[in-house]
Amino acid sequence: MKFTLATWNINSVRSRLDAIARFVEAYPTDILCLQEIKCVNASFPLEPFRALGFTHIELNGQKAYHGVATLSRLPIERVEARDFNGSGEARHLSVRLGGEGDGAVIHNFYVPAGGDVPDAEANPKFAQKLAYLRAMERWCAEQPGKKTNRAILVGDLNVAPLESDVWSHKQLLRVVSHTPAEVAHMETLRASHDWVDVMREHIPPEEKLFTWWSYRARDWRKSNRGRRLDHVWVTPALKKAAVSLRVVDEVRDWARPSDHVPVLAGFDLRRR
């Protein structure tokens, strides 16, 4: 089974319908994983997506905040929407594509951003973020069959782990998303189930790579003060199945953009 998958923090799905339509027309996408949809399930714009060919839709929405959606042109089956740290926030959704032997489970995540102060005692939002990452670590470590489990994990993980994932490692060491505590948790999470960082399999780790640019920059491309907050991971069994990767940064130039851009990955699940 071959397919393309895009992950994109859309920062309000109802505000970006035109951009989504433009993107999937320019970049054929079979599965679209959106984060921060900012609407409850009943308010999600189903018909515009069905008109684009996404006839299989699974949602975990929340009013005004958070929320994730997985939309597919291919048949998918809902697995679960897990509340990883008991907050009641809509931040995860998993679906199954294909059968257990030849398909994959796709996890769509929106990890808490963590606020502005990188101190868990002074900032409850940062404490929540670290707790969420620890809960993900425990869950991943409990999953059976590291070598045989067929899973894809995508989304806005809100951590830029490598020095080359931020515009200035030195200046961002005390900025939430690139602090040593977050980076350490991210690596423990990745190692907990031997996840493979698909983006860095295709783009060398020493190269600068960003998926987010602040709205504050008057000319985001000229200043290029970005961070890689969006990720595509696979279990070792699917390492060879991840055949292509592209960060579609031109979308950031479009009208009324999200501050994140889509990451588009190609898969061939027949490859082992």
Residue-wise pLDDT for 163-200, tens only, equals: 999 999 999 999 999 999 999 999 999 999 999 999 99
User: Any residues with CB less than 8 A from the CB of 88 and at least 6 apart, and which?
Assistant: none
pTM for the structure as a whole: 0.97
pLDDT greater than 90 at residue 16:
yes
Third-level CATH fold of 2-268:
Deoxyribonuclease I; Chain A (3.60.10)
Question: What pLDDT score was predicted for residue 147?
Answer: 87
- The answer to whether 69 and 34 have CB atoms below 8 angstroms apart is yes
pLDDT greater than 90 at residue 27:
yes
Nearest CA among 25, 31, 129 for reference residue 77: 31
* E-state strands within the chain: 2-9, 31-35, 56-60, 68-72, 76-80, 92-97, 104-110, 151-156, 196-197, 212-213, 226-227, 230-234, 242-247, 263-268
Average model confidence (pLDDT) for the chain? 97
